[in-house]
């Protein structure tokens, strides 16, 4: 009896793995053909986790690169960041411009200058004061401070902006201080065109002492003269001679 039980057990053990194998193959084929909702859910969760992980990794890389570059700029206060550029000349006058006021010193004068302004803007007032002082005729166009349609042609979105007529079109000048210096340079020495003069005042992007990027025209407080260096040399020399006499 005991021997028969042992033989029966042996048979079960011998047949067991092959049965198991058949069962496994069956369940795997079932798994491929129709995925259970639980498995589907698990797979979706895995792909979402991967997606979030990827996003976080990209964010970390971009953030690290940004902080590296902004930090390297912070170490360089005064560094010029851009290649200095000028505002390109306008070939034709923008259409639909409504001149609100014509400033003339003699009735027969033709204005070659258009001033885009807000009437209450102090920087525009400074430019008007200069134009009136040097008695140059000009037209005024009031800019709508909200929509700014009148300066839609310009990338620079502040006022005053001046358009100065030249042989190639209209040269935009921006920033009240630059406008005054550029016009003073032009009126002083007409051997240069207004385009040449505008190119003497390039906009620069630089890093300030706090590490922030700023845009400015570095030499806007200066009148540009071809012979300035010679004149300065002469002045220094004369100063030296005066001092020599005093000693």
Positions touching ligand GSH (CB under 6 A) are: 118, 121, 123, 145, 157-160, 175-177
Q: How far apart are CA 161 and CA 176, in angstroms?
A: 8
- Output the smallest distance, CB 98 to ligand GSH, in A: 19
Determine the Cα–Cα distance for residues 247 and 241; give it in Å rounded to an integer.
Answer: 10
Q: Structure tokens of 99?
A: 């001149």
Instruction: Supply the minimum distance, in Å, between the C-beta of residue 106 and ligand GSH.
Output: 29
Cβ closest to ligand GSH, residue 74 vs residue 202: 202
User: How far apart are alpha carbons 114 and 12 in whole angstroms?
Assistant: 105
Measured distance CA(220)–CA(200) in Å, rounded = 9
Can you tell me the distance from the alpha carbon of 200 to that of 181, in angstroms, rounded to the nearest whole number?
11
C-alpha closest to that of 155 among 215, 243, 213: 215
**Cβ-based nearer residue to ligand GSH, 15 or 84:** 84
- 212 versus 234: smaller Cβ distance to ligand GSH: 212
Measured from each CB, the residue nearest to ligand GSH is 158
Minimum distance of ligand GSH from residue 190's CB (angstroms) = 25
From the CB of 160, what's the least distance to ligand GSH, in Å?
Answer: 6
- For ligand GSH, the closer of residues 151 and 224 by Cβ is 151
As measured in angstroms, the least distance from the Cβ of 181 to ligand GSH is: 11
Half-sphere exposure of 12 (CA within 13 A, CB side): 6
Nearer to ligand GSH by Cβ, of 147 and 243: the residue is: 147
């Amino acid at each position: 009896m005991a021997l028969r039980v042992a033989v029966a057990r042996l048979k079960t053990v011998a047949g067991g793995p092959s049965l198991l194998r058949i069962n496994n193959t069956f369940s795997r084929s079932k798994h491929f053909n129709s995925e259970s909702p639980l498995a589907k859910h698990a797979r979706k969760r895995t792909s979402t986790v991967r997606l979030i992980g990827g996003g976080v990794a990209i964010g970390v890389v971009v953030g690290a690169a940004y902080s590296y570059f902004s930090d390297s700029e912070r170490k360089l206060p005064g560094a010029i960041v851009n290649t200095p550029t000028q505002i390109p000349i306008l070939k034709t006058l923008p259409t639909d411009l409504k001149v609100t006021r014509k400033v003339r010193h003699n009735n027969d004068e033709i204005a070659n200058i258009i001033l885009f302004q807000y009437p209450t803007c102090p920087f525009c007032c400074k430019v008007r004061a200069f134009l009136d002082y040097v008695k140059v005729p000009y037209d005024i166009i009031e800019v709508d401070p909200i929509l700014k349609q009148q300066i839609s042609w310009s990338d620079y979105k502040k006022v005053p902006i001046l358009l100065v007529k030249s042989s190639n079109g209209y040269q935009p000048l921006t920033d009240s201080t630059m406008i005054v210096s550029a016009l003073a340079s032009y009126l002083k020495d007409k051997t240069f065109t207004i385009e040449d003069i505008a190119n003497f005042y390039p906009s620069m992007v630089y890093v300030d002492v706090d590490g922030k990027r700023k845009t400015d025209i570095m030499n806007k407080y200066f009148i540009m003269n071809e012979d300035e260096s010679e004149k300065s040399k002469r002045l220094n020399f004369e100063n030296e001679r005066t001092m020599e006499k005093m000693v």
